[in-house]
Structure 1
């Protein structure tokens, strides 16, 4: 008698409007992915974001004091970000598209 192996994948079924399916299919096609892969990846990324937002960070009072000192100190400029904010926006005069 054969024993049932534990299932590694579980199906999820959704009812979506045709417009949503069309948009998902178009986006999946642009990424070269199947609808299933695209939706799975999007759902997993969204779930990870939610879980990371709700994650509790614990530290002792000394670690918290160090953390607050860093937050209260002066910001260190990032040269690439400084250059980026100095560039004109596409709708501003002087904008030149970069390759």
Structure 2
């Protein structure tokens, strides 16, 4: 008898209303994904975001003092950024309201 392979995947079951299923199926179809792939990807992305938001940042007292000094310093003008921000938005161009 051949040894059975150990599965690394774990089943996850949910009960969802028809409206949620329809919404998920529509979005998954637009992405060319199966419902399972779409929900798995969305759940993993949401979990990563929560973990990133709650991550604790540790630094030495010296590092924190340097960090605070940089935040407290006067802002530096970045000329290319100023130029970009002065341009009209693409959706405002040609509207006759300029």
TM over 0.5: yes
Q: Which residue of 1 aligns with 2:67?
A: 67
Structure (1 or 2) with the larger CA radius of gyration:
2
Q: How far did residue 88 of structure 1 move?
A: 4.6
Q: Are 1:53 and 2:53 counterparts?
A: yes
TM-superposition CA deviations, 1:14-33 (whole Å, max 9, x none): 11111111111111111111
Q: How far did residue 76 of structure 1 move?
A: 4.2
Q: Which residue of 2 aligns with 1:13?
A: 13
Q: Which residue of 1 aligns with 2:88?
A: 87
Indicate the structure whose relative CO is greater, using CA pairs within 8 Å and at least 6 residues apart.
2
TM-superposition CA deviations, 1:2-48 (whole Å, max 9, x none): 55443210010111111111111111111111111111010001000
Q: How far did residue 86 of structure 1 move?
A: 5.0
Counterpart Cα distance in 1 of 2:17 and 2:45: 22
RMSD: 2.6
Displacement over 6 Å in runs of 4+:
none
Q: Which residue of 2 aligns with 1:96?
A: 93
